[in-house]
Amino acid sequence: MNSTAPLDVGDHQHATFPEGLDLECGVHLAPVDVAYRTYGTLSAKRDNAIVVCHAFTGDQYVADIHPLTGKPGWWGRMVGPGRPIDTNRFFVICMNVLGGCMGSTGPRSLRTDGKGNGTERWGTDFPPITIRDMVRAQHMLVRHLGIERLFAVVGGSMGGMQVLEWAVTYPHMMLAAMPIATAPYHSAQNIAFNEVGRQSIFADPDWHGGRYWQQGVVPARGLAVARMMAHITYLSEEALTRKFGRRVRKDPSNAQAPEASLSMFSDVFEVESYLRYQGSAFVRRFDANSYLTITRAMDWFDLAAEHDGELPAAFAGTPVRFCVVSFSSDWLFPTSSARYLVRALNQAAANVSFVEIDTDKGHDSFLLDEPDFDRTVRGFLCGVAEHAGLA
Amino acid sequence: MNSTAPLDVGDHQHATFPEGLDLECGVHLAPVDVAYRTYGTLSAKRDNAIVVCHAFTGDQYVADIHPLTGKPGWWGRMVGPGRPIDTNRFFVICMNVLGGCMGSTGPRSLRTDGKGNGTERWGTDFPPITIRDMVRAQHMLVRHLGIERLFAVVGGSMGGMQVLEWAVTYPHMMLAAMPIATAPYHSAQNIAFNEVGRQSIFADPDWHGGRYWQQGVVPARGLAVARMMAHITYLSEEALTRKFGRRVRKDPSNAQAPEASLSMFSDVFEVESYLRYQGSAFVRRFDANSYLTITRAMDWFDLAAEHDGELPAAFAGTPVRFCVVSFSSDWLFPTSSARYLVRALNQAAANVSFVEIDTDKGHDSFLLDEPDFDRTVRGFLCGVAEHAGLA
């Protein structure tokens, strides 16, 4: 957590849309950059494209080495040749969300509202973004790639919110939707956790009202605390107990101390050491202003509210085939939220299947080794392809 | 959260023990002050005393006006004339825990290890405290009051840990034990949440390595963030949804803004406003160094580990009558922990009853209006009194 040097996010493959977007907040944002990665080959008929939507702190590096961390992509086990989302067969597109910090227009971008001298970044003056705004930016890129109809849109957590928004906004542009570990609205508890994360960033002395770039620092400590807390919510109590239990990592400088001498602040439980690592690794790849912008977008997400409080109305007459997935130990987006979504889809007479994966790994299960989940993804995509005559 | 003035905790009713205590960490701490409040009258036979153990951020003001906040005591609905813990019948003692900040010896106290010039406070040099140390300090006060045998020891959350430690350390000094919403060890998830709170305090620019008193400030922002996060864990998702849902408190300065204009950072969800209030109220009555000391004591609590990993061995041959209480929606100390405790008590052939209260109010249920819980407390105490011939 000593990494307070400004974040250099480098350069990313992207498209620029000079016409920009009319955002839901009423602001016209232009130009808009959309950074993206693709995997596999677009078919001659352009009918095999799958949009993968990333979660809150994810990015477009689904299945190749991440340029900042040097680590494999976040969903390499799901996307690739022979994988459940098989790139021998499908053309996969993943885009950094609007408001993000990996190349798409966001708070790190130079401001284009005529204020500042052309070298100033948006920071907290970046206009508020909604999940629908993110999806409309993705839609521009999909059209830019010459694709008129997607085979599917797939994503977990906040990615699942985007999947739902895609299905509601562009129902005739996609055959299938797979919202995973998500909900059609952000709950009071989830808003509460996001708010604590934001307050932690605001409390950092290096926050500087969001203009930390001008000071050559980043609010690394506040951002790390926010990440540590959020990380707990991504796991289950069972997973934490299995991985760490109450094991203690002895401070080497206390190794010779008698057993009776508790070194309560230098010896740390392994779960503490793990969280500290998660926090400090995160601040090297993520921007605090994007943290604020994106958590706010999640908090405001409420599909029913966009349709006079009636969730089934959001899906009325939809031709999209849905497969809703939840994980039994996910307490951030619990199965009850998925059931609420499925009931609304059923009321709208949509084509929907629902799978609850039995696992103790918590919300993050969709990123982990869950063979049942792999089979669900592969099976659903094969079924849709067969039904569409693409087999 | 702008309250950065040093905490003035005032003067409290207390007893001073010049002989002090040999702490589990190996340090001899002397003198030791124990601040306390009593309610009701000690019987001539001195057989009607109940020790109430307070939770993490509680204190000895169980049933009278709190001197700092001016608010009623934290368990006034449970303790008082005619209440379930009836002060017409019982003599109730509640003591601020060792390591606390309401008059018992803790990190705010002047250091007595010969370092400093006699005007310096312990701060982070205060020796690490365990739950057993807290209970041994309470034991000194109980003996000081001339009581050789307690009628009962009762407490929730960290107070329940103390109840268990009382029963294990002084089984022949008490008739009954009522551990509520607690566990015989702190789980990995609970340690994880505590660690995030500590890191939030460390990240505050006003922390000053724990010597904030010397600077005339307190790390109010970090402490408030820690409290906000912890507060979420005290409630359930259902309780948050029922109390706040997704309701928004409009910023008055934006009241005239068109509906389409989202004021995402000025308008706040009611749950956010509530948490911010909880955070800022907390820092006016609680000390950051005590926060560290006490969370550490909880983290290290593991009754089985004190008995070669065998929890039933901790209770072997116990004459104490136990009533274990859990709440169905408590996810911080879930019913599964209570069942684990009850199984161990059964294996030790202890006299134990177990009640799970069905409620959606979460961990904090033991402080709230739960008639079933009130009946359980009253019933258990009456039953024990009858059995002991005190009826």
Other residues' Cβ atoms within 10 Å of the Cβ of residue A319: 11
For residue B116, what pLDDT band results from cuts at 50, 70 and 90? confident
Which position among B14, B133, B139, B157 bears the catalytic label?
A: B157
pLDDT at B255 over 60: no
- For residue A1 the two structure tokens come to 């957590």
Helix (H) or strand (E) holding B243: helix B237-243
Tell me if A246 and B185 make a contact (CB, 8 A cut-off): yes
Please give the positions of A annotated as active site: 157, 330, 363
Q: What is the pLDDT of residues A1-25, one digit of tens each?
A: 333 445 555 679 999 999 999 999 9
DSSP A301-328: -BTTGGGTT-HHHHTTT---EEEEEEET
State whether A237 and B128 contact (CB < 8 Å). no
Candidate ranges A93-97, A304-308, B63-67, B115-119; pick with highest mean pLDDT: A93-97
B187 contacts A272? CB cut-off 8 A: no
Give how far A284 is from chain B: nearest CA, Å.
17
Percent of chain A with pLDDT over 90: 87
CATH superfamily entry for domain A14-187+303-387: Alpha/Beta hydrolase fold, catalytic domain (3.40.50.1820)
Residue B362 burial class via C-beta count within 10 angstroms: exposed 0-12, middle 13-18, buried 19 and up: buried
**Could you confirm whether B330 is annotated as catalytic?**
yes
Statement: residue B315 has pLDDT above 90: yes
A118 falls in which pLDDT band (50, 70, 90)? confident
Those of residues 299-338 in B touching chain A at CB distance below 8 A are 299-300, 302, 305, 331, 334
The matching CATH number, chosen from 3.20.20.190, 3.40.50.1820, 3.40.630.30, 3.40.50.360, for B14-387 is 3.40.50.1820
* Residue pLDDT, tens place only, A325-351: 999 999 999 999 999 999 999 999 999
- A65 vs B: CB within 8 A: no
* Least confident residue range of A171-180, A207-216, B250-259: B250-259
- Give Cα A88 to chain centroid, integer Å: 25
Summarize pLDDT for A223-257 with one digit per residue, the tens.
999 999 999 999 999 999 999 999 988 766 554 44
Window 169-228 of A: residues touching B by CB (8 A cutoff) are 185-189, 191-193, 195-196, 199-200, 202-205, 221-222, 224-225, 228
Write down the pLDDT at residue B257: 43
Q: What percent of chain B has pLDDT above 90? A: 87
Q: Tell me which residue in A193, A225, A265 faces B232 most closely, judged by beta carbons.
A: A193
Chain B residues inside the 8 Å CB shell of A225: 196, 199-200, 203, 225
Q: Is A133 annotated as a binding residue?
A: no
B285, pLDDT greater than 50: yes
B267 is catalytic: no
Backbone angles phi, psi at B21, to 5 degrees: -135, 140
Q: What is the pLDDT of residues A145-184, one digit of tens each?
A: 999 999 999 999 999 999 999 999 999 999 999 999 999 9
The predicted-structure confidence for B60-76, as pLDDT tens digits, reads as follows 999 999 999 999 999 99
Nearest-5° Cα angle at A165, A122 to A74: 70
Residues belonging to the binding site of B for substrate are 227, 364
d(CA A60, CA A62): 6
pLDDT at position A119, please?
Answer: 85
Copy the structure tokens of residue A257: 């101390």
Using one digit for the tens of pLDDT, what is the confidence trace for A262-281? 455 567 899 999 999 999 99
Instruction: Please give the C-alpha separations between residue B279 and each of A264, A282, B1, B101, B220, in angstroms, as whole numbers.
Output: 26, 25, 7, 17, 9
Q: Chain B neighbours among A 85-104 (CB < 8 Å)?
A: none
Contacts of B258 (CB under 8 A, 6+ apart): A26
Which structure tokens are listed for B160?
């329940």
A179 vs A318: CA distance, rounded Å: 15
Rounded to an integer, what is the distance from CA A352 to the centroid of its chain? 23
Please tell me the distance from the alpha carbon of residue B137 to that of residue B51, in angstroms, as a whole number: 13
Cis preceding linkage at A31, omega within 30: yes
- How far apart are alpha carbons A296 and A299 in whole angstroms? 5
**Residue A232 token pair:** 């707990």
Q: Which residues contact B380 (CB under 8 A, 6 or more apart)?
A: B176, B178, B323, B353
The whole-chain average pLDDT of chain A stands at 93
ipTM for the complex?
Answer: 0.92
Q: Is B4 on the interface with A (CB under 8 A)?
A: no
Least confident of B107-121, B245-259, B344-358: B245-259
pLDDT of residue A251: 67
- Each domain of chain B, given as residue ranges in start order, spans 14-387
pLDDT value of position B260: 36
**Band of pLDDT at residue B300, cut at 50, 70 and 90:** very high
Could you please report the per-residue DSSP string of B288-350?
Answer: HHHHHHHHHHHHH-BTTGGGTT-HHHHTTT---EEEEEEETT-SSS-HHHHHHHHHHHHHTT-
* Closest residue, chain A, to B228 (C-alpha): A196
